[in-house]
Amino acid sequence: MIKFTVNGRPRTADVEPEMPLLWVLRDVLDVKGPKYGCGIAQCGACTVHVNGEPVRSCSFPASAAAGKSIVTIEGLAARGRLHPVQQAWIDHQVPQCGYCQGGQILAAVALLKKNPNPSDKDIDESMTNICRCGTYARVRTAIHAAAAAMKPAKA
Amino acid sequence: MTMRFAPSRRKFLKASAAIGGGLTVGFHVPDVLAQAKGAAGTEINAWVVVRPDDTVIIRYARSEMGQGSMTSAPMLVAEELECDWKRVKVEYASANENVRRKRAWGDMASVGSRTIRFSQEYLRKGGATAREMLIAAAAQKWKVPAAECTASGGVITHAASKRKTSFGKVANDAAKLEPPKEVKLKEPKDWKIAGKPIPRIDIPDTVMGRQRYGIDAQLPGMVYAAIAQCPVFGGTVKSVDDAKLKGRRGIIKVLPMGTFVAVVADNWWRAKEALKDVAIEWDFGANAGASSASLMDFYRAGLDAQTDIAVSRKQGDFEQAFSSAAKKLEAEYFTPYLAHSCMEPMGCTALIKEGRVDVWTSTQNAEATLAVAAGVAGVPLENVEVHRTQLGGGFGRRGGGQDFVRQGVAIAKAMEGTPVKMLWTREEDTQHDLYRPASLVRVKAGLDPSGNPVAWYSRVASTSIISTLLHLPLKPPLSPAEGIDPQAVASFTDLPHAIPNVKIEYAQRNAHVPVGFWRTVGHSQNPFVRESFMDEIATAAGKDPFEFRRALLQKSPKDLGVLEATAKAAGWGKPLPAGVFRGIAQTEAYGSYTCAVAELSVNGNGEVTIRRLVLGVDPGYVVNPDNVLAQMQGSAVFMLTAMFWGEITIKDGRVEQSNFHDYRMMRLREMPKVELVLAPSGGFWGGVGEPGQASIAPAVCNAIFAATGKRVRSLPLKNQGFSLA
């Protein structure tokens, strides 16, 4: 039995230790936000946060998540308020089909946590998730907008 | 909170009949659409339902795969309805109801960039008709002539008596009236909703992780299937040995299914892992020896053949004009097989129970899904429902074909009474696509002594999508002539340039590799040939590529218009920094006129830096301008991915690529600056989902020629020594 929290809620799963976290979330716990795209950590559609770090859950064994805190796209909005990255995604009409966007948003949140004011080059280097619809230009714009929105108000 | 799909339609039928006072025929409200949740309302017509609280539900019949039509199509209904857009909710029309109601919603397919251009008139009429009925109901109540009443923002006003009422208050009365036979549609210049950058209705759900795709179907008691298809196209299962799975946790069944093997388990990962331990012996059939080289020989034989050739256009006397031309050019161009690589792999969830079939799948054509499911299950069409979801990309993969539905329903039939979610791995998805056909093209041109082209010839050798996927005969009215697949010769048959002698031929050469509609279809490859060769002619004539095209398009005002507008925005002819070069190309596709100007540099290692990509489009009318920009940005990514890296190659009858590590997708760091020149000239309706791609590859390759002197005649560019910096 593996125990962890998902979006703040304690969950347990009776699964093989090597079962990828993605499939534990999707098929065992019915958390559908993380998506399957490639299964080999190439595309990032399955991105979730494990203790605040972005992880490609298709290639992350369930056993490695034991005792940890997992946040998926469903759990990003806190107390009914959108995360500034989510808001920027709406303001700039980023998604097209949307399938990869949960992963894109979680990757962007992780980037902004480490680097609150990323340059274009920083965005280039850290945003490696694949979007087949081609929303990249808007992803970039929205990250800059979210960074601006998240800046603490000047005294 | 998790959302579940409701398999029961009957409940909804009852609910809406009760609330609608018996006026609505009843409608399946998909649980996936948070927007449409709440009380049912009164159906005014197939497109418009009004709730007592003045909420307007607009039904959407086609699919949403990111192209934005689920917002744009209802915008057109709302425009004529004169409702308050802020009170609009959108729900999918049901494929089952479409069968029962004699196709009240018409064609449900989202293919061929046609959602707006093929349905705009009946959508607008649907809105206008409902508006007139609502006004008439209010006028009757007030005992005033309907002509004295107006509607705006969901409010009906009789100015003379200063009376007002709302749509919700008169909906029940309106639904009882006869719809007007004739309605007058607004002039686009008077639009208040259409033509404005309206935010997409599906985006909030997407960013909150609430959007539901086919892959997300969840049903009580559901089991999961992973499948292995015969690696060689056309092969079959000879024998299956599943001894190794004995006692394995979660495994429910191993099913030999003719052309594939399915493992059914209590979760998908267990099914997929178990499949690796099933020993499958295949009968590879006749194609196990095929390779990319043998396919190339097959197509080249088509270029040289004297027989089995069809002519799609013959104008003047090409042979005579070519043989007497002052200058002759001849070249061969190649474009490879390509995979769609939708981010959501193919899959299908189905439940067959008591003669009824429920299907949950990401489909571009719910009616085709319904028909295939009914056929496989052996039930009447009326007994099938296709539960609508967002698609994790489509790009033509999920329209015709419906192979994944055939498989999913066949598995569900073998597991009757139990819902089964069948999902492909990325590897299956890459190796069992319906590929963009490879195409080999011979082009010839003859110039007069002043450098004007007097003769043009193209012969295309490729697999016909229409005959092999849709099994339709290649003859009029579908084809311009007997034996012609119109997509295979697209942008050649309709060559708009003033060239007096033209001959266009098609050599239908159907190989064993299955083909299908890949975003922009024939226009994803032939414009590369046509517009690159046009540049070759301009170079041979010693003329500027823009001015050369301009002179030849004088009698094609729409092509000319977008060419000039785009060239102007791109600053064609203005000096560039050292080492930076331009290329231009222009094409019509899906009823829209497009042009691209690429501005780039190429370093000594063949690394291409695209500084700007200026994309011009004239779609006639623009419904949602920000969405047009999104489609153009997306088209740039899709085409740059294809032209730099895209190629599916064949060895031993099977596909060599398997996943994103060897079938490369463009990433954010490679995204160039895309500028849109939106130049709607009015008077016609063109598409926007696909046309944007058409002119990009030749514009980039023409700029590469300008920069390096190297003429690219075969894609992808990675095989020609170029990479995207």
Rounded Cα distance between B429 and B434, Å, is 10
Structural domains of chain B, count: 3
Helix (H, G, I), strand (E, B) or coil at B178: coil
d(CA B239, CA A96): 43
Q: Residue A95 is nearest to which of B207, B210, B341, comparing CB atoms?
A: B207
Q: Measuring CA to CA, which residue among B200, B176, B64, B71 is closest to residue B123?
A: B71
Whole domain around residue B564: which residue ranges?
A: 293-337+435-724
Among the candidates A75, A92, A122, a domain finishes at A75
Interchain CB contact of A134 with B (< 8 Å): yes
| B244 belongs to a structural domain | yes
Instruction: Say how far apart CA B662 and CA B672 lie, in whole Å.
Output: 23
Which member of A33, A132, A137 has the closest CB to residue B343?
A: A132
Q: Is residue A120 part of a domain?
A: yes
Query: Residue B240 falls within a domain, yes or no?
Result: yes
Taking an 8 Å cut-off on Cβ atoms, the answer to whether B660 and A36 are in contact is no
How many domains would you assign to chain A? 2
Give the residue ranges of DSSP H helices in chain A: 21-23, 84-91, 101-114, 120-126, 136-150
In a domain, B653, yes or no: yes
Residue A48's CATH number: 3.10.20.30
Q: What count of other Cβ atoms lies within 10 Å of the Cβ of residue B303?
A: 17
Q: Let me know whether A54 and A118 are in one domain.
A: no
pLDDT band at A154 (very low <50, low <70, confident <90, very high): low
pLDDT digits (tens, 9 = 90+) for A25-63: 999 999 999 999 999 999 999 999 999 999 999 999 999
Decide if B390 and A97 are in contact by the 8 Å CB cutoff: yes
Give the closest residue to B317 by CA, choosing from B454, B444, B493, B450: B454
| pLDDT at residue B38 in the model | 52
The answer to whether residues B305 and B238 belong to one domain is: no
C-alpha to C-alpha distance for B719 and B261, rounded to whole angstroms = 36
- What CATH number has the domain bearing residue B410? 3.30.365.10
Contact list in B for residue A38 (CB cut-off 8 A) is 426, 659-660
**Does B321 lie in the same domain as B226?**
no
Q: How many cross-chain Cβ pairs, A to B, lie less than 8 Å apart?
A: 178
Residue among B225, B216, B209 nearest B30 (CA): B216
Residue ranges of A 76-95 with Cβ closer than 8 A to chain B: 76-77, 82, 86, 89-90, 93-95
Residue B231 lies in a domain: yes
The answer to whether the beta carbons of residues B692 and B618 sit under 8 Å apart is no
Clarify whether residues B398 and B318 are in a common domain: no
Contact A32 B626 (CB under 8 A): no
Residues B116 and B249 in one domain: no
Q: Beta strand pairing status for B501-508 and B581-589?
A: unpaired
The closest CB to that of B224, out of A27, A32, A42, belongs to A27
B515 and B601 share one domain: yes
pLDDT at A43: 98
Does A102 sit within 8 Å of B636, measured CB to CB?
no
For residues A69 and A92, membership in a common domain is answered with no
In whole angstroms, give the CA distance from residue B356 to residue B348.
16
Q: Is A13 exposed, middle or buried (0-12, 13-18, 19+ CB in 10 A)?
A: buried
Domain containing residue A133: 84-150
- Claim to verify: residue A48 and residue A95 sit in the same structural domain: no
B634 and A CB contact within 8 Å:
yes
Least CB-CB distance to A90: which of B204, B666, B667?
A: B204
The ranges of chain B with pLDDT < 70 are 1-39
- B445 shares its domain with B419: no
Q: Does A60 touch chain B (CB under 8 A)?
A: no
Q: Is the CB of A98 less than 8 angstroms away from the CB of B203?
A: yes
* B108 lies in the same domain as B226: no
| Pairing status of strand B56-60 against strand B654-655 | unpaired
Judgement on whether residues B244 and B266 belong to the same structural domain of the protein: yes
- Strand-pair category, B592-602 with B654-655: unpaired
Task: Please state the ipTM of this predicted complex.
Answer: 0.98
End residue of a domain, out of B423, B447, B481: B423
Look at A32 and B212 and tell me if their CB atoms are within 8 Å: yes
* Shared domain check, A123 and A58: no
Q: Which residues of B touch A31 (CB under 8 A)?
A: 2
Residues B254, B299 within the same domain? no
CA B692 to chain A, closest CA, distance in angstroms equals 13
Q: Across residues A16-20, what is the average pLDDT?
A: 98
Please, are residues B201 and B70 in contact by the beta-carbon 8 Å criterion? yes
Residues A31 and A63 in one domain: yes
Confirm whether A155 is domain-assigned.
Answer: no
Number of H helices, E strands in chain B: 19, 28
